[in-house]
Amino acid sequence: MTESSLTTHNKFTSGKQMNPTLVLLFIVVVAVVMTWILSSGEFQHQGQKVIPGTYQVIEKHYSLTQMLGLGAAPAAGQAAPVGIIDGVMAIPAGIVKQAGLIVMVLFIGGMFGVLNQSGAIEASLERLLGITKGNIYFLVPTLMLVFSAGSTFMGLAKEYLLVIPLVVALMNRLGLPNILGLAVVAVAVKVGYLASVTNPYALSIAQPLVGVQIFSGLSMRLAAYVLFMLTGVAFVLWAIRRHGPVGGTIDTSFSTQPLSLRHCLMMSTLLVGIAFMVFAANQWHWKNTQLSAYYLFLSMIFSAMSGMGASASADAFVGGMKKVLIAGLLIGLATAVEIVLSQGKVMDTLINALVQLVGQHGPYISAYGMFICQLLLDIVIPSTSGQAAVTMPILGPLGQLSGVAPQTTVFAFLMGNGLTNMITPTSSGLLIFLASAQVGWTQWAKFLLPLFLIFAALAIAMLTVAVAIGY
């Protein structure tokens, strides 16, 4: 790393950084405590869908043995707080539950270990920078527009795990730290989900549950996409200008030599592989297991093409996995929060308490209440489709009683869910992005906080407009 890039890196890492593992451990402990101080209760469910008006408090039994985690399992229709032993066991249980996702992340790390060791990525980035003359004001907006379009129109998210190391390496070559490479991808993808112009993962669940046609109400979401994207791009460029090279163009000579045949074939294979993966994931609904196998297959292809030999390729693959190994523990810890709250039967209690924020206080206050409700619920239900299935059946009728149109209810859900997912430490999607870029959560949260607050203000403003025009 050059002297200038070291200086830039220090600007982002100066000061005391809280370990993300400790942050999540603290949240797990808080979740355990909540099962002791909150009432337990349940909604009746129809599959994933919650039936409104069915919340009931459940009898809960307290004892010393229960505190230790040695008590008997509660009978049907009853609850018990989560003990110390059960709280600790929730962590490996979370890792097991997310095993497919963790393996996928490890295999992606291994695959890029092979590509990096072969020199294909470095040579390709050098060639790209030579063509564009390192013009950040061209590269960053173009990349962010492409990434956000994939997420807002098709719901792509995990598919971008393959490109994060590439963009991070590109920023590193320009003398910029990893966090700015991550921002180019993550801010674009999160904005795409926040607007969800035609995102099927959000709209195919949320809109039918409030009685509106899927993909209807396009105008407000499209306006949100344009507004939030312009703001997001401006923020990333501002961060680069403030913490990176002055003027937006790097005063460095880049290679204009064409790629070697080997590197050209490897990068062409990577591009074709990404395109086929996006097609297969949408056409055949590939899950984590199939994606993991696919990444492993690509790793074998790249190892054969690299000419490094079996032993060197295996070492590079293992070295790449080591760099993202911490992601497995973080994902397990994040999932442990959900397990603890569900085991203590306080998840529905939290949902019921938060929806009371909405109430029947007129359309404007109710719309803001929906936004805040979704914002907070995303911490314990970071899944977009899962949160839609849980909250839409409850908030839809409440919104109509308060004069909030169904489309505005969906819009409040998208704003709250999308905004919190940019920063919440319980989101496995964000955690694997951070692991791929080798950026700590507290470092990311500190970097993103100004944009988060700007986006929150814009979301409130757009909700105000939505209510005013009867959207």
pLDDT value at position 452?
Answer: 97
pLDDT score, position 250: 53
Count of beta carbons in the 10 Å neighbourhood of residue 379: 17
Which candidate, 355, 334, 286, places its Cα nearest to that of 431? 334
Model pTM greater than 0.95? no
Over 90: is that where the pLDDT of 118 sits?
yes
pLDDT band at 256 (very low <50, low <70, confident <90, very high): low
Q: How confident is the model at residue 285 (pLDDT cuts 50, 70, 90)?
A: confident
- Give 317's pLDDT tier (boundaries 50, 70, 90): very high
Mapped onto helix, strand or coil, the DSSP state of residue 48 is: coil
- C-alpha closest to that of 55 among 347, 341, 338: 347
The residue with tokens 């319980």 is 426
* Mean of the per-residue pLDDT values of the chain: 87
* pLDDT interval class at 281 (50, 70, 90): confident
Range 299-325 average pLDDT: 93
* Section 41-66 average pLDDT: 83
Percent of the chain with pLDDT over 70: 93
Q: Is the dihedral of CA 71, 73, 75, 78 positive or negative?
A: positive
Rg for the chain (alpha carbons), in Å? Answer: 23
Q: Does residue 319 surpass a pLDDT of 70? A: yes
Instruction: Answer with the residue of higher pLDDT: 115 or 12.
Output: 115
Cβ neighbourhood burial of 121 (10 Å; 0-12, 13-18, 19+):
buried
pLDDT score of 75: 78
CB 232 within 8 A of CB 187: yes
Q: What is the mean pLDDT of residues 204-232?
A: 94
> What is the mean pLDDT of the segment spanning 249-274?
80
Number of domains making up the chain? 1
Quick one: average pLDDT of 441-463? Answer: 96
pLDDT at 229: 98
Digit-coded pLDDT (tens) for 396-435: 888 888 899 999 999 999 999 999 999 999 998 899 999 8
Contacts of 73 (CB under 8 A, 6+ apart): 80
Beta bridge partners of 42: 56
For residue 251, the Cα-to-chain-centroid distance in whole angstroms is 34
Domain region containing 348: 3-468
- 424 Cβ partners below 8 Å, 6+ apart? 378, 379, 382, 430
* Distance from C-alpha of 436 to C-alpha of 327, rounded to nearest angstrom: 8
pLDDT tens profile 350-393 = 888 888 777 767 899 999 999 999 999 888 888 888 899 888 98
